[in-house]
Chains A and B, each alone.
Chain A
Amino acid sequence: MALRCVNGHETPPRLKCEACGAAVYYKQPTTALLELPKVEPAFEKVSVMAVGWSVPPMEGVASSQIRVAENESQSVSSFALKRSEGASWIDFYRKYLGSLRVWMKAVAFDRSRYSVLVVDTTVPESVVAIAALPWSKNTFVLAIVADKNSTLLEQSTSFVAVRMALDHKLPVVAITTSYADEAMSYTEEDGLAVRRQALAPIVSVLVSAIDEVVDDLGRDAKVGILEHCLSTVLAGSDRVYAGVDDALAAQEHNLSIDAAQGETSTVYLTAFAPSQSQARLEAGFAKYRRERLTGAVNAGVHIHPRQGRADLFDLLFIYGLKEDRIGKPLVEAYRSVLEKAPDLELELTE
């Protein structure tokens, strides 16, 4: 709004008009101060929330954590549930569902374009964390799930957590505890990592390819496929594998869940590879799919140029699984626990 003096001259900000020396009106222009600048919060594209395991910070990714601690506390990056001796998932669920929902809103977990919950479903706080997730079509769960090496209680909790996610129509990418405990990965930046630390590069690759991953998971969800597993080849090279075909065949023996041939319905490959390898990868993937996944419901390949050493490639496979593939091995343990502790029954209709 232009400033004017009492005689109507337009004037720069002065107490008296430079043209005629009369007083300048300021009352009306002050009303413009009621306008505040238009600011739209620019949230990170990806939010990752970890439960029961930690994920190292990633650039441009909002990281937060739900954990159990001596005292209850909340911050923008962490919600601590108070430790309680002998607590099972139902105790945390009853006590914290409301406040966790409020906290997830408060830290704007659903404001990113993509939200990922990385959760160890064998821990009792996993169920309430999944139940409290705000509804968003671009959210998926990367879950460590119990297997035959886990205790009955872990299997039962894991069963409940996975069922809770699937009931909320959330895609689940499952990794068994055995896979997590035996994992080994190598990256140029961090070198060799073992056990659960070796999962961090997997999360990093998932996040790097988040557009395609969410797109593929969403496409599967439309045909009712919510359960998935994955496999990776990180920092692979032609020197380690005789060629792309070998690498594609080798990853199949390293699935994050023990799925037999015929238990997978879809397959997606996201690769970070040097440009000279891209044509070979596409051809190799087409061949692999023809030979190993005849009659796949869906398949896709996405190739990105890889940063860093030009002769290395990272491959991330996501497989869509037949229905109830994740929960089936756990249901017996769940029933068995339920016989002894009936209050641990999962009621999915809230």
Chain B
Amino acid sequence: MNPVRVVSVQFRGKARSDCVLGIDETNRELAVSQTRGALWRKGDELLFTLPYNDATTVRAHGRFVEVDDLTVEAQDEATAAMISSILVEPRQKAQERRHSARRDAEYSVGAFLKDRAAALSFLDTLKTNPRGAFFSLSSVTKGAPDPFSDWRRGTSAKLAKALQEVDSTIARVEELGGHDTAQRLYALTYLVGQAQNALAEGDRKRLEGLEPLAADLDIDVEVFKALDAGTVTERLLDAARINLTEKPQAAPAA
């Protein structure tokens, strides 16, 4: 940003008027200079530099901008707002990136678990109504000699791809400093997957064994009372506040 002429600055109790504020966005540093000399020998003399980062408090009110201990009086409100936004913008972008990465990861976790629930539901139908299950495959397998094996292969490949997506999106969350979020997302994936298995096998005891982890993830254990893998998946994802209705937009570049 080009240096901005400001009315005054106040830093650690010292007030100076007729100053110039420079912002080095690359190195995240403020430079305050003061205009000195008379007429033909007038020039800007650097008074001090001040680094800033994501933890720096930035507040704009009227013509004033407060940057931690530094108060800047700009020529007008628009200039004050502009200074504030330049200081705050990178932080917002980083936050947006983290948020977006988290949403991507949540979406991929949800998509993997939903695909898995659908597969388990099909296997359940295969046990209770094998012909109905075979017939439901016929529209996709078109008279293949062994439609069930084809389905199994296709489903395994689909799940492997979906889990790969889970890994890569959670890795991105971790890259952006969301270690705890990444840990919780894996724990949630494990929890829902194990709950699906327990329900598919009718193993209520195993389901009860998962309740402490659900509590750690702030999920109401009542959710486990769902009767099938599909319903428990919906409810657990809902309880974990994971929204699958809309695929998130691509995350902004770093």
The residues of A with any CB-CB pair to B shorter than 8 Å are: 12-16, 23-24, 26-27, 29-31, 33-34, 36-37, 39, 41-43, 62, 75-76, 101-103, 105-108, 111
The answer to whether B194 touches A13 (Cβ under 8 A) is: yes
Q: Given contacts A15-B183, A15-B187, A26-B187, are A34 and B156 in contact (CB under 8 A)?
A: yes
Interface size class of B (residues with CB under 8 A): 35 or more
Interface centre among B131, B138, B189 (most CB of A within 10 A): B131
Scan residues 161-181 of chain B and give those whose CB is less than 8 A from a CB of chain A. Answer: 163, 166-167, 170
Q: Which residues of A contact B170 (CB under 8 A)?
A: 27
The answer to whether A108 touches B134 (Cβ under 8 A) is: yes
5 closest A-B pairs by CB: A106-B138, A41-B130, A26-B186, A102-B143, A15-B216
The residues of B with any CB-CB pair to A shorter than 8 Å are: 112, 116, 119-120, 123, 126-127, 130-135, 137-138, 142-145, 147-148, 152, 155-156, 159-160, 163, 166-167, 170, 183-184, 186-187, 189-191, 193-194, 197, 200-201, 209-210, 212-213, 216-217
The answer to whether A39 touches B187 (Cβ under 8 A) is: no
Q: Given contacts A15-B217, A24-B187, are A41 and B148 in contact (CB under 8 A)?
A: yes
Q: 5 other contacts beyond A41-B130, A76-B131, with CB at 8 A cut-off? A: A13-B194, A33-B190, A33-B193, A34-B156, A36-B116
Interface centre among A16, A30, A103 (most CB of B within 10 A): A30
Q: Given contacts A12-B209, A41-B148, are A34 and B131 in contact (CB under 8 A)?
A: no
Query: In the bound complex, what is the Cα–Cα distance between A75 and B135 (angstroms)?
Result: 8
Query: In the bound complex, what is the Cα–Cα distance between A103 and B159 (angstroms)?
Result: 29
Q: Which residues of B contact A62 (CB under 8 A)?
A: 131
Q: Given contacts A14-B213, A34-B160, A106-B138, are A43 and B130 in contact (CB under 8 A)?
A: yes
Q: Which residues of A contact B138 (CB under 8 A)?
A: 102-103, 105-106
Q: Which residues of B contact A36 (CB under 8 A)?
A: 116, 119-120, 123, 152, 155-156, 159
Instruction: Quote the shortest CB–CB distance from B66 to chain A (angstroms).
Output: 38
Q: Which residues of A contact B152 (CB under 8 A)?
A: 36
Closest chain A residue to B214, Cβ basis: A13
The answer to whether A37 touches B216 (Cβ under 8 A) is: no
The answer to whether B120 touches A15 (Cβ under 8 A) is: no
Q: Which residues of A contact B184 (CB under 8 A)?
A: 15
Q: Given contacts A15-B183, A36-B120, A39-B126, are A102 and B190 in contact (CB under 8 A)?
A: no
Query: In the bound complex, what is the Cα–Cα distance between A16 and B193 (angstroms)?
Result: 19
